[in-house]
Amino acid sequence: MAYLDQLQAQFPEIEFEAEQSLAPHTTVKIGGPAEVFCLLKEKVHLINVTQFALKQNIPLTILGWGANSLISDSGIRGLVIKNLCQEITVHPQSQTVETQTDQSTTTPARWQAADQPETGYNAGADFSQLDYFEAEAPRVLVTMDAGVSLPMAINTLLSQGITGLQWYTRIPASIGGAIYNNIHGGKHFIGELLQSVQVIDQTGELKRYLASELELDYDHSRFHHSKEIIISADFLLFKGAVEKAKSIVIAWAKQKAIQPQNSLGCVFQNITAKEQARLGLPTPSTGYLIQKVLTLQGLQIGDAKISDRHAAFIENVGHATAADYLAVIRKIIQAAQAKCQLHLKPEIFFLGFTASELDGIVQTASAESSASA
Ligand SMILES: Cc1cc2nc3c(=O)[nH]c(=O)nc-3n(C[C@H](O)[C@H](O)[C@H](O)COP(=O)(O)OP(=O)(O)OC[C@H]3O[C@@H](n4cnc5c(N)ncnc54)[C@H](O)[C@@H]3O)c2cc1C
C-alpha cells in the first residue's frame, strides 16, 4: 500500500491509518475497515487531500455522519475521508442576494402522505399539522462546510435568530450527506434552501454549481452519478420567527423520537403515486407496505431486524453484519416483487460492495453502489 506512505509524506500534519474499522463511523455500527482512513477537520485539508488522491488515482470515498451508508463487511478499498469540517459563516444581510431558492418545490410528493393518521397507519410521525412557509421573511446567506453536523447547524443558527432548517430536526446528517440525497423533512427538501454548492470534480478542479444545476429531486442529486466531492454549500435561510421555529424543533423531535437510531433511516424510497393507485394502498409509505401488505415486520436475519417501531427501518439489534442487513433487504425486495410485482428502490447507499453482491438490490450497481471518486 505505497500510497499510504505517499499520503503521509505529503501531509505530515494529518494522521492516516491503515485498516481502520468503519463501523463506529456509521449510525448502524456495521462495516469492515477502510484500507486507509483519515479524519479531516479543516477545509483546506479536505481540498488538498482530495486533489492529491484524484491526481494519484487513489480510490476515494467521503463519509459524513454515516447515517445513510451500508458499508460492506470487507470494508472499502482506497482512502476513506471522514469529513468533520465544521465551519459555519453567516454573511451580513447586505451580501444576501435573494435568488435561486424555491420553497414551493416541484419534487414529487410521494413522501408527503406517508405517515398521516387518516391512512390508518401512523408510525409515530405526523408532520402535516406543523407545516408553514416562511418565504416572506428576510433572507440571510449562510455558508456551511460539507462536514457540518446538521443538528449542530440547526441549534447554532437558531441561537443567532436564523431559521429554515427546523424541518430537519433529529435527522442524523452532515451537510454534504444531506445535499447528496436531498433530504426531506415533512413537506420540505433541503434543496429548497440551497443557493449554490462548491465541489471538486473528477479532474480535481474546484467548481461552484447553482442549486438549479444540482438535479435535485426526491432522494436524488447530481452527486449520485457525478462523483464530485461536496466541499461547502451556500444556503439562503431566514431571519424568521425564531420561537415558532423552536416550537417546531421540539414537536418534530418528539415525533421522530420513535425512530430507531441504530439504523440507516428508511431503507427504501416510498412507492410512486401510480404504484400506490395500482395496489389500492392508502399511503405510498414503504413502512405501511412492509408492515401491512408484506407482513414482514419483526423479520430478523442474524442481528438485522425490521424494526418493531417503524417497519421502514432495519435495526442492528446486536452484532449485525452487512451480509445480515443485505439479506433482510433482499427478503423485502423479493416479497414485494412476488406479492405486488413491485421493485422497491433502496434509499440508502452501499459502499464497498461488488456489483454481484448487490445483484437484485441496486438496479445500476456501478452507478449507485458507492460515492467513491
Ligand atoms: C434515525 C434516522 C432518521 C432519519 N431520518 C431521515 C429523514 O427524516 N429524512 C431523510 O431524508 N433522511 C433521514 N435519514 C437518513 C440520513 O440521515 C440522511 O440521508 C442523511 O443525509 C445522511 O447524511 P450523512 O452525512 O450521514 O451521509 P453518509 O451516510 O455519510 O453518506 C451518504 C452518501 O453521501 C456521500 N457523501 C457524504 N458526504 C459527501 C460529500 N461531502 N461529497 C460527496 N459525497 C458525499 C457518501 O459517500 C454516501 O454515498 C435518517 C437516518 C436515521 C438513522
Supply the DSSP string of 272-297, one letter for each residue.
PHHHHHHHT-S---HHHIIIIIS--T
Residue ranges around ligand 1 (CB below 6 Å): 27, 61-69, 83, 146, 171-174, 176-178, 180-181, 183-185, 223, 229-230, 259, 261, 263-265, 349, 371
Per residue in 9-46, pLDDT (tens digit) is 999 999 999 999 999 999 999 999 999 999 999 999 99
Distance 101 CA to ligand 1 centre (A): 21
Q: How far is CA 372 from CA 58, 69, 103, 113, 369, in A?
A: 10, 12, 31, 34, 9
In the prediction, which pLDDT does 129 show?
Answer: 76
What cell does 271 get? 412507492
- Residues 6 or more apart whose CB falls under 8 angstroms from that of 276 comprise 110, 283, 284
Tell which CATH classification among 3.40.50.10260, 3.30.70.1400, 3.20.10.10, 3.30.465.10 matches the domain 88-256: 3.30.465.10
Per residue in 8-17, pLDDT (tens digit) is 999 999 999 9
Question: Could you report the predicted ipTM of this complex, rounded to two decimals?
Answer: 0.99
Ligand 1 mutation pick, 68, 209, 315, max ligand atoms within 8 A of CB: 68
In the prediction, which pLDDT does 363 show?
Answer: 73
Q: What is the rounded distance in angstroms from the CA atom of residue 185 to the CA atom of residue 203?
A: 34
Ligand 1 mutation pick, 40, 171, 175, max ligand atoms within 8 A of CB: 171
Q: What is the mean pLDDT of the chain?
A: 91
> What average pLDDT does the segment 260-285 reach?
97
Q: Does the structure show a pLDDT above 70 at 87?
A: yes
In the prediction, which pLDDT does 186 show?
Answer: 87
Percentage above 90 pLDDT, the chain: 84
Per residue in 100-158, pLDDT (tens digit) is 455 444 454 444 434 443 454 555 556 677 888 898 999 999 999 999 999 999 999 99
β 33-40/76-83 pair status? parallel
250 φ, ψ (degrees, to nearest 5): -70, -45
Per residue in 155-197, pLDDT (tens digit) is 999 999 999 999 999 999 999 999 999 999 988 999 999 999 9
Q: Are 222 and 215 in contact (CB under 8 A)?
A: yes
Q: How far is CA 50 from CA 2, 38, 146, 369, in A?
A: 17, 12, 14, 20
Q: Does the structure show a pLDDT above 80 at 69?
A: yes
Distance 51 CA to ligand 1 centre (A): 23
In the prediction, which pLDDT does 105 show?
Answer: 46
Percentage above 70 pLDDT, the chain: 88
Tell which CATH classification among 1.10.630.10, 3.40.50.1970, 3.90.78.10, 1.10.1040.10 matches the domain 273-347: 3.90.78.10
Angle between helices 242-256 and 150-159 (to 10 degrees): 150
Q: Are 91 and 46 in contact (CB under 8 A)?
A: no
141 φ, ψ (degrees, to nearest 5): -85, 125
- Say what the alpha-carbon torsion angle 286, 291, 297, 299 is, to the nearest 10 degrees: -70
Q: Does the structure show a pLDDT above 50 at 78?
A: yes
CB atoms within 10 A of CB 223: 22
- Residues 6 or more apart whose CB falls under 8 angstroms from that of 338 comprise none
Distance 204 CA to ligand 1 centre (A): 24
Per residue in 317-348, pLDDT (tens digit) is 999 999 999 999 999 999 999 999 999 999 99
CATH topology classification for 2-83: 3.30.43
Range list for CATH 3.30.465.10 in the chain: 88-256
Q: Are 241 and 166 in contact (CB under 8 A)?
A: no
309 φ, ψ (degrees, to nearest 5): -85, -30
In the prediction, which pLDDT does 112 show?
Answer: 46
Q: What is the rounded distance in angstroms from the CA atom of residue 144 to the CA atom of residue 156?
A: 12
Lowest mean pLDDT among 92-101, 268-277, 338-347: 92-101
Range list for CATH 3.90.78.10 in the chain: 273-347
189 φ, ψ (degrees, to nearest 5): -115, 145
Q: What is the rounded distance in angstroms from the CA atom of residue 221 to the CA atom of residue 212?
A: 11
Residue found under cell 419483526: 298
Distance 172 CA to ligand 1 centre (A): 7
